[in-house]
Structure 1
Amino acid sequence: MASPSIQRPSSSSTSHSQWSYDVFLSFRGEDTRKSFTDHLYSALIRNNIITFRDDEELPRGEEIAPELLKAIEESRIAIIVFSKTYAHSKWCLDELVKIMECKEEREQIVIPIFYNVDPSEVRKQTGICGEAFTRHEENADEERKEKIRKWRTAMEQAGNLAGHVAENRYESTLIDEIIENVHGNLPKILGVNENGFSFGKTNIIVKD
């Protein structure tokens, strides 16, 4: 398991719940790690959003680590960056299946980002996504075929969700919209300022 990057608040006025993180970032490292995803991650931590990002790709052939599955379960929101070769990664697809399970079982919010890939390609597994599945299906035994069916179902479900399309967009504007979306899906708590007026603020959550 690679060491994750996690943003935690410095404030002592924090709350505890089933959630350890505000956001889990799912992405294909070789596509966006040093570009879009890095810029998005930086914006999230600047906005005091507790974010889990795995710092390194797992070596080829290794299964997704239990610690990573646990981090998905403990995240209030999952942001999935669907890039051109996301579906080529078995690890990313396993993450995706877990995320969609958490959406159903834990009411996790899922925000897909379609980064230089059309939402219909994700939903229908056509184009470069379809090419990826063709490769996965080559010489697949029954156990692998069952896993591929789960991958396809998760891709279809995620592709049907409302998200953000990056094509022909300024990345800075897109990231601002994503931050606004995340903030809108985080709970609010009421505080009182020195003048006695109530105000809302993000409920920051830390891991025990």
Structure 2
Amino acid sequence: MALSTNKRVLSSSLTKRYKYDVFLSFRGEDTRNGFTSNLNGILRHNGINTFMDDKLQRGENISTELLEAIESSRISIIIFSKNYASSTWCLDELVKILECKNNGQVVLPAFYKVDPSDVRNQNGKFGEAFTKHEEKFKDNKKKMQRWRAALKEASNISGWHYKNDHHQSIGFIQEVFEEISRVKLNHTQVFVVKYLVGIDSRVEEISWHLDIESNDVHMKHLLEDVREKSRRLNGILQYKRQFIMRSLGGGN
């Protein structure tokens, strides 16, 4: 799905310093060891600094550390999966993310094997989760209202809808990566130097990672005509797209 980022949000974000490029909000039991980990790995491999909540201890209330991570992120990706709303922690994350959106943060929802209308109207698994929450928080109707309003607002933001197909997964992660790259480039001055300084140290680092003399199997990708093609419009982005497709088994 093509996305258009609000120019006012981007311009207001330029003046703020961020600790993370991307904050990932997700339900661990649904996507931690699959889609979210794959997306996080691709983003980090391509120099995008992410915060993935995979080490913080969970409790009844959202932690101060997590709130600070959300506030210090340029972009938040909300990965709505079937059990997202069953977690009060995720719902509190969502409320905080949308507060930050009003202060200039870019928010991008990804609907992973769920229908956006179920998120918007709390149907299906989302409805079942809220039935339980209403019993538990029957004396705190304001909290319930905030959660419902947050789900409705987030579901109306332009994002991606992933259904259940391996080939779609490759394109899905690619689209997310490209949008994050565009947002990041809009915030960052890009300096292209005429001569490569310090290239020897980079070659040594690559050789160390490849460990050519070992008996292990390594994956290598050959990208041709780098100098010529990188001069074209979006040339670097096209190379990153090609690398991701090959890494995920999508060929050229």
Shared fold per TM-score greater than 0.5 = yes
1:55 counterpart SS class: coil
The worse-fitting range, judged by mean Cα deviation, of 75-84 and 120-129 is: 120-129
Residue 22 in structure 1 maps to residue 24 in structure 2: no
Counterpart CA distance in 1 for 2:179 and 2:27 is 22
In structure 2, the partner of 1:118 is 115
Query: In the alignment, does 2:132 pair up with 1:135?
Result: yes
1:176 to 174, 177, 182: 174
Length-normalised TM-score, structure 2: 0.67
The 1:119/1:189 distance shift into structure 2, 3 A limit, reads same
Quote the offset at 1:57 in angstroms.
6.0
- Structure 1 match to 2:89: 91
Return the structure number with greater helix share.
2
After TM superposition, list the pairs within 5 Å mapping 1:125-204 onto structure 2.
125-142=122-139, 144-169=140-165, 170-186=168-184, 187-194=187-194
Where does structure 1 differ by over 2 angstroms across 4 or more consecutive aligned residues?
A: 56-59, 139-142, 199-202
Secondary structure of the 2:189 match is: strand
State the Cα distance separating 1:184 from its structure 2 match: 1.3
Gap regions ≥5 residues in structure 1: 1-15, 203-208
Flag the 1:30–1:193 CA change in 2: closer, same or farther, 3 A.
same
Correspondence 1:70 to 2:55: no
- Which whole-Å CA distance do the structure 1 matches of 2:57 and 2:148 have between them? 22
In the aligned structure 2, how far is the partner of 1:121 from the partner of 1:57? 28
Secondary structure, in 3 states, of the residue corresponding to 2:78? strand
Per the TM alignment, residue 128 of structure 1 is displaced from its structure 2 partner at its CA by: 1.1
- Which fold has the larger relative contact order, with Cα–Cα distance below 8 Å and residues 6 or more apart in sequence? 1
Select which of 82, 97, 100 maps to 1:102.
100
Whether the aligned pair in 1 keeps the contact of 2:108 and 2:158 (CA below 8 Å) is yes
1:33 aligns with 2:32: yes
Q: How far is 1:17 from its partner?
A: 4.5
Identity of aligned pairs, percent?
A: 49
CA shift at 1:40, angstroms?
0.5
Q: Which structure has more strand as a fraction of its residues?
A: 1
Q: Distance in 1 between matches of 2:141 and 2:170?
A: 40
User: What's the CA shift for 1:166?
Assistant: 0.6
- 2:21 counterpart SS class: strand
Give the aligned length.
Answer: 182
Length-normalised TM-score, structure 1: 0.81
- Is the Cα–Cα contact under 8 Å of residues 29 and 57 in structure 1 kept in the other structure? no
Larger radius of gyration: 2
SS at match of 2:153: helix
Gaps of 5+ in 2: 1-14, 196-230, 238-252
Amino acid corresponding to residue 145 of structure 1 in structure 2: K
Counterpart of 1:13 in structure 2 is: none
* Preserved CA contact (<8 Å) 1:63 1:91: yes
Deviations 1:160-195 (A, max 9, x none): 001111114421111000000111111231424217
2:134–2:144 Cα contact (<8 Å) kept? yes
Report the RMSD for the aligned CA atoms in angstroms. Answer: 2.2
The equivalent residue for 1:8 is none
Secondary structure of residue in 2 paired with 1:189: coil
